[in-house]
Structure 1
Amino acid sequence: MPRIYDWAAREAERTVTVADLCAARDSGKRYTQVTAETADEAAAAEKAGVQMLVARARNVEAVRKGSKRLFVTAALGFADAVTRDDILRTALKALTDGADAVITARGMATVSMLAAEDIPVVGHLGLVPRKSTWVGKLRAFGKNADEALTLFHRFRRLEEAGAFAVECEVIPARVMAEIRRRTGLVTVSLGSGPDADVIFLFTEDICGGEGRRPRQPGPMGTCKRCKSVSRKSV
């Protein structure tokens, strides 16, 4: 297991590092990721053999109490950090609390600012639920040629901005597979089919914690926020 120093200068072991994730694109290795907001959820994920976690930035410290080894990505909320200084401060606090990377759905300028500090940044493309007014409803994005081309250009812009990875939410599986072949980003599939470097599911969905049942035909799991199946329906 790789030994590193974390952002608080503590010696640590990790199941996977940023370098491992980038190398996986060539090796064909796949990783799994779930959400965690508590120590118990993090401990359960580690026991289950999951390699990666996503937690809200303010909960990273609690999550690290449950797992010292899993790769943790801290989600930067839109309202939790507003100004550039707030965003950078929140990101660095999450990292020193034990996160290995941050994820943001903000614009490219924010990604560039964080990447300029050598912070591993994950972007968010496809269906971004909080920005769904732009596409009219919660739906897959990239189902026609124009949308697929727009999506590809967004991947290119995100890579140029300095992100190392991207959460790909509810992108049609065939489009996802083609884009993955043409991007240097580590791809994280949330309801976007199996052709990605990391397969991501919400813990609530895995454990049946949602009151409304998602549609069932897709074999690869579901997206909590839009209730779409990840393969056949998109």
Structure 2
Amino acid sequence: MAAPGVTLRPLSRTVLTASPALSTTTLRIVPRRFPQSLLNRQSPSLHSASRSPLVPHTQIRHSSYHSPEPSPNTPNARKKVTMTTLRNLYKKGEPIAMITAHDFPSARAADESGMDMVLVGDSLGMVAMGLENTTEIVMEEMLLHCRSVARGAKHAFLVGDLPMGSYEISPEQAVGSALRFIKEGRVHGVKIEGGEELAPTIKRITQAGIPVVGHIGLTPQRQNALGGFRVQGKTCVGAMKILQDALALQEAGVFMFVFEAMPPEVAALITSKLKVPTIGIGAGNGCSGQVLVQVDMTGNFQPGRFIPKFVKKYADVWGEATRGMIQYREEVKSREFPSPEYTYPISKEELAKFEKTVDEMIQK
């Protein structure tokens, strides 16, 4: 029964388990409505000497686990970031913070860091899967990573990269791929690389009710056609092409752009001519926000690996992780780990019984 002054809300089903003093019992309680006076009254039968109090069944885990989500009623709980949230940030001129994530832990880190948006970028093919470039990753792999990220990022707005080969054949193919990202990948929108030639495709996706982020400038999926990972918009002709792409895709219905690897002045001028926010990556701070690959900015990569000029290293995850693992290896070799505080005890009496039982068993 409820403690005095506590109001019980009806539940469709409640499972309770008896305390360890009793054999395991599962009770199914059917909701009933009682007068408040009865709800506030203690039941002596539950606390008699012949019956142990019922306690909610809980599972104790002696293994790695993730912490529960904060209650939505707690003072510091984050509100879910939606399209409306992002539009309001844009209207107020407040920069939008976006970062990539590729699995549950990186998603939790991004979400708990207060990121407005989390991008499941196809860059994970290189930083998480060891591929040579983004063109190798396929739909099923992207969906797997999207689902993992969706389990960890509960507050940020999630966007998934449509991989190369999943949208170029026809608008119908693109809509089908985008629908899979929403339904199976559990993201909130998709990102698609390319210019005005993709306007009909993007229009079809948005007509299906799926938010689309356009990606122009340097488009890594087309790096073979671009002659490699080259800065775009360094000439008047190149900059005008980016502007034309942006205006065409805005008309097609994108709600946001990623501008990659272009002069900051070009990105800022084009941003000022658009009615939707722009997220820069190697495009200067004149954009409406910024995005970086999490693995790059946290320094979670081996020494000597090439990183783009626009990456600022904010941490040294690789160094900390390797230092910790080296110490762990040394303590394992010396038997310093695990010390008693990292083990589970047994009483001397039970240990003596066990040893005696083993001896008797061996002697037979």
Q: TM-score, normalised by structure 2?
A: 0.53
Higher Cα Rg, which structure = 2
Query: Which range moves more in the overlay, 104-113 or 41-50?
Result: 104-113
**Residue 99 (str. 1) matches residue 164 (str. 2):** no
Mapped to 2, the partners of 1:69 and 1:90 lie a distance apart of 24
Q: 2:96 touches 2:289 (CA, 8 Å); kept in 1?
A: yes
Which residue is 1:6 aligned to? none
Which residue is 1:61 aligned to? 147
Q: Which has the higher contact order (CA 8 A, sep 6+)?
A: 1
**Residue 16 (str. 1) matches residue 16 (str. 2):** no
**Residue 196 (str. 1) matches residue 287 (str. 2):** yes
Which residue is 2:307 aligned to? 214
Q: 2:80 touches 2:154 (CA, 8 Å); kept in 1?
A: no
Deviations, residues 94-143 of structure 1 (Å, cap 9, x unaligned): 22342111111152222111012121101110111222344433221111
Which residue is 2:174 aligned to? 87
Higher strand proportion: 1
- Secondary structure of 2:105's match? helix
Which residue is 1:28 aligned to? 93
> CA shift at 1:215, angstroms?
6.4
Trace 1:68-217 onto structure 2 (pairs within 5 A).
68-80=154-166, 83-96=170-183, 97-106=185-194, 107-210=198-301, 211-214=304-307
Mapped to 2, the partners of 1:84 and 1:110 lie a distance apart of 4
Q: CA-atom RMSD, angstroms?
A: 2.3
Mapped to 2, the partners of 1:153 and 1:79 lie a distance apart of 24
Q: Give the 3 Å change call, closer, same or farther, for CA 60–137 of structure 1 in structure 2.
A: closer
Amino acid at match of 1:184: K
Identity %, equivalent residues: 25
Q: Tell me, which stretches of 5 or more residues in structure 2 are unaligned? A: 1-77, 122-141, 314-364
Question: Which of 43, 48, 58 is matched with 2:113 structurally?
Answer: 48
Q: 1:76 touches 1:103 (CA, 8 Å); kept in 2?
A: yes
> CA shift at 1:89, angstroms?
2.5
Q: TM-score, normalised by structure 1?
A: 0.80
> CA shift at 1:83, angstroms?
4.9
Amino acid at match of 1:38: D
Mapped to 2, the partners of 1:66 and 1:139 lie a distance apart of 34
Query: Which range moves more in the overlay, 128-137 or 194-203?
Result: 128-137
> CA shift at 1:160, angstroms?
1.2
Query: Which range moves more in the overlay, 81-90 or 160-169?
Result: 81-90
Amino acid at match of 2:85: D
Q: 1:31 touches 1:51 (CA, 8 Å); kept in 2?
A: yes
- Secondary structure of 2:193's match? coil
> CA shift at 1:84, angstroms?
3.9
Mapped to 1, the partners of 2:163 and 2:244 lie a distance apart of 25
Amino acid at match of 1:103: K
Mapped to 1, the partners of 2:222 and 2:87 lie a distance apart of 28
Q: 2:171 touches 2:200 (CA, 8 Å); kept in 1?
A: no
Deviations, residues 18-40 of structure 1 (Å, cap 9, x unaligned): 22222333211112111112111
Mapped to 2, the partners of 1:55 and 1:143 lie a distance apart of 28
Which residue is 2:104 aligned to? 39
Deviations, residues 3-29 of structure 1 (Å, cap 9, x unaligned): xxxxxxxxxx85422222223332111
Mapped to 1, the partners of 2:287 and 2:159 lie a distance apart of 17
- Secondary structure of 1:104's match? strand
Mapped to 2, the partners of 1:215 and 1:197 lie a distance apart of 21
